[in-house]
Amino acid sequence: METRVDEIAERIYRLSTFLPAVGPKGFTFNQFLVDADQPLLFHCGQRSLFPAVSQAVARVLDVRRLRWIAFSHIEADECGALDEWLETAPAAIVTHGAIGCAIWLNDQAPRPPRALADGEVLDLGGRRVRRLDTPHVPHCWDAGLLYEEITGTLFTSDLFTHVGDPPPLTDGDLVGPAVAAEKHFGFTAVTPATGATIRRMAALGPRTLAVMHGSSFSGDAAAPLESLAGFYDDLLRAAPRR
Ligand SMILES: [Fe+2]
Ligand SMILES: [Fe+2]
């Protein structure tokens, strides 16, 4: 198993591990490293990926320098290797939204988490990440995303999930492959808030989308976000009523 490293925005690195046996065409699991005075890792990866992903981090910076560990929601690919990261990086602090700290980290994390409020900014020194609460988007009550304000990078977690091992970065269509994956897996908890939550991300005007499964995107990212929001609105409208 090997994890490839690609810089998708200035000092923002995609650490991608392709697992060919997952899903219909294999599946990438992507962590993101924000290289700043206080480096931040977004997504821990599963425990089985930790050796490969930590070696990938070490190609960019000393793993012991990691200061922040963040993720969107409680699932093995998002935070399974949390304990391993905190053990390897003794100064690292896990940070999550208030709900996630209350329902999971305050009890389960090996050291106390730093809870971030909706809209709160962490100044990393050279990079600034804003926490955005997105409950149940893509899924899980504790879900949230991060937006790096200097590079305009939105860390989308499972939004725009697509299969296979596509290029690290594209300016092409993300929505078509994401809709196909949604139809295959049905991974999003579609509620009346789904479209509105995604439109709130579009309003930020991101220039890069750091996608957890598949290619990241470079360009006018408001357009694919609006389009994805419309897809989920249509899905909700088409749902059978009781
Ligand atoms: Fe997920
Ligand atoms: Fe995921």
Tell me the CA–centroid distance for residue 27 and ligand 2, in Å: 10
- State the ligand closest to the CA atom of 22: 2
Task: HSE, CB side, 13 Å, CA atoms: give it for residue 166.
Answer: 19
Return d(Cα 111, Cα 94) in angstroms, integer. Answer: 8
Tens-digit pLDDT profile for residues 15-50: 999 999 998 899 999 999 999 999 999 999 999 999
Output the six-digit token pair for 116. 């971030």
128, pLDDT greater than 80: yes
Tell me the CA–centroid distance for residue 242 and ligand 2, in Å: 31
Q: Is the pTM of this model over 0.95?
A: yes
242, pLDDT greater than 80: no
pLDDT score, position 5: 98
Give me the DSSP letters along 51-115: HHHHHHHHTTS-GGG--EEE-SSSSHHHHTTHHHHHHH-TT-EEEEEHHHIIIIIHHHSSS--EE
- Which single residue is written with the structure tokens 């990241």? 216
- State the ligand closest to the CA atom of 77: 2
Task: HSE, CB side, 13 Å, CA atoms: give it for residue 227.
Answer: 13
Helix (H) or strand (E) holding 29: strand 27-34
CB contact set of 93 (below 8 Å; sequence gap of 6+): 67, 68, 69, 111, 113, 114
Tell me the CA–centroid distance for residue 169 and ligand 1, in Å: 21
Tell me the CA–centroid distance for residue 31 and ligand 2, in Å: 10
